Amino acid sequence: MGSDSSSILAPKKPVPAQEEDPPSPTTALLSFNTDSTSSSDSSRKSTATTVVFISLLLVTCVALSAAGAFAFLFFSTPKTTIQTTSSDSVARPLRNLDRPVVLLISSDGFRFGYQFKAPTPNIGRLIANGTEAETGLIPVFPTLTFPNHYSIVTGLYPAYHGIINNHFVDPYTGDHFTMSSHEPKWWLGEPLWETVVNHGLKAALYFWPGSEVIKGSWTCPEKFCHQYNGSVPFEERVDSVLQYFDLPSSEIPVFMTLYFEDPDHQGHKVGPDDPQITEAVANIDRLIGKLIAGLEKRGVFEDVNIILVGDHGMVGTCDKKLIFLENLAPWIEIPADWVQSYTPLLAIRPPQGVEPSDVVKKINEGLKSGKVENGEYLRVYLKEELPSRLHYAASDRIPPIIGLLEEGFKVEQKGNDKKECGGAHGYDNAVFSMRTIFVGHGPQFPRGKKIPSFENVQIYNLVTSILNIPGAPNNGSLSFPKSVLLPSTP
């Protein structure tokens, strides 16, 4: 694999759960003042005090008895609410399928919190009776579509699976990668569909970045691998996936994907807070409902392990949050042909003979001078000096100079008269608005369980654990599935 195949980094641990607030202090008991004002008063008040005390004691006893009776009736009354806590100790047995099946669904750009923008009863059903990352799924950096979708199915950070951006240039050949590049040389690592086929099982993919790439044992078979076509209606995609469950049980693919472009499509146009987002989220929920109904009709809904995720979040951007590279001219000229990506990930590859460290030093001098508009919202690094948590250095495909923008800001080459507000993603994955969702539902997921946020590189091992097949080496933790899934029945 050459320079792109250096050893895999140590697995990143899931984000620990935030500690709960300490319990509220108990309320102090009321105290009675028993001091006598005089010895003569003491005799007169003694009888009255005794009567009052006995009366209060009787009233208290009656109140406690009533409260006890009410509590007995309340807690003994049968409940009809949705199950929200799991009493399962092991995975629930399959009823109508021969072996575990995983259906991995991606709703592109589904920012964590979107599930509260509209009524989402179907997603809510999966959450209430399944397992949810309580504060969202953490994407890998950069928080872009292709790097994240391929990290989900390989368990690798972009530096190791090779898809380091939606668009980039091979520094040795000068070849350009685009989102329609299907040559296997770009796509490193072993995606889940290849792992599944390696073990003599079937996979069926209704769109997923990398699924059309013929690599290793994966041939993208016609009946089980759809060539990407964004004009295919979402309902047709759901119907096609449901048809796989009409096959004889032994022929049903054990791993399937289903992909929707929304609400990312709307988010880029109008930002995360527009009514169009609300409509898109409601539509995704309706599609999930259609899927659930189809699985129930076939008697397999409770047998299928559904994993619903997004690839990244979304944040609003406007013209006032712009940084122009031309404003750095007093310190350094940055020609357009040096820049491989402007925003939200600034990526610069200077030509030979220009030292990257000198470029970084001069750019940051300008940004810190106070004379570059919005300069304080951009910090530029040599890639080796980026925060190690980003895992964004170990590939020659990554340009030597990387700029990190604050949430909502954008970089452009020079000023213009455009007036627009929209949405973007690609920022530091520590930014909360970049988080997306994770919901797992099925026989191997506990009911009503909330888990801490985690990076999406853990999903690969989660799927192979459900399918009970060994996976390829990856950046995820082998112990992670044990913290999420129910153990299999003995």
Which domains, from first to last, does the chain contain?
A: 101-316+430-484 (3.40.720.10), 322-420 (3.30.1360.180)
The reported pLDDT for the residue numbered 318 is 84
Residue 176 backbone phi and psi in degrees, to 5: -105, 130
The reported pLDDT for the residue numbered 87 is 61
What does each C-alpha distance from 206 to 23, 226, 319 come to in angstroms?
Answer: 49, 5, 37
* CB 201, CB 467: distance < 8 Å: yes
The reported pLDDT for the residue numbered 476 is 98
The reported pLDDT for the residue numbered 490 is 59
Residues belonging to the chain? 490
pTM value is: 0.83
CA pair distance 9, 156, nearest whole angstrom = 9
The reported pLDDT for the residue numbered 238 is 98
Tens of pLDDT, residue by residue, the chain (490 residues): 444 433 334 333 333 333 333 333 322 222 223 233 333 344 333 444 443 344 444 444 434 444 444 333 333 333 333 444 456 789 999 999 999 999 999 999 999 999 999 999 999 999 999 999 999 999 999 999 999 999 999 999 999 999 999 999 999 999 999 999 999 999 999 999 999 999 999 999 999 999 999 999 999 999 999 999 999 999 999 999 999 999 998 999 999 999 999 999 999 999 999 999 999 999 999 999 999 999 999 999 999 999 999 999 999 998 789 999 999 999 999 999 999 999 999 999 999 999 999 999 999 999 999 999 999 999 999 999 999 999 999 999 999 999 999 999 999 999 877 767 899 999 999 999 999 999 999 999 999 999 999 999 999 999 999 999 999 999 999 999 999 999 986 5
Helices marked H in 129-252: 145-154, 158-161, 192-198, 234-244
Smallest CA-to-CA distance from 274 within 136, 119, 422 is with: 422
Q: How far is CA 346 from the centre of its chain?
A: 23
Q: Which of helix, strand or coil describes residue 460? A: helix
CB atoms within 10 A of CB 274: 18
Q: Which of helix, strand or coil describes residue 258? A: strand
CA pair distance 68, 66, nearest whole angstrom = 5
Which pair of tokens denotes residue 387?
């925060």
Which pair of tokens denotes residue 153?
């199915």
Element (H, E) at 107: strand 101-107
What does each C-alpha distance from 457 to 65, 128, 151, 158, 344 come to in angstroms?
Answer: 56, 24, 6, 10, 22
CB atoms within 10 A of CB 83: 11
Maximum Cα–Cα distance for the chain, whole Å?
108
CB atoms within 10 A of CB 95: 11
365-375 b/e (C-beta count within 10 Å ≥ 16 → b): ebbeeeebebb
Catalytic residues: 145
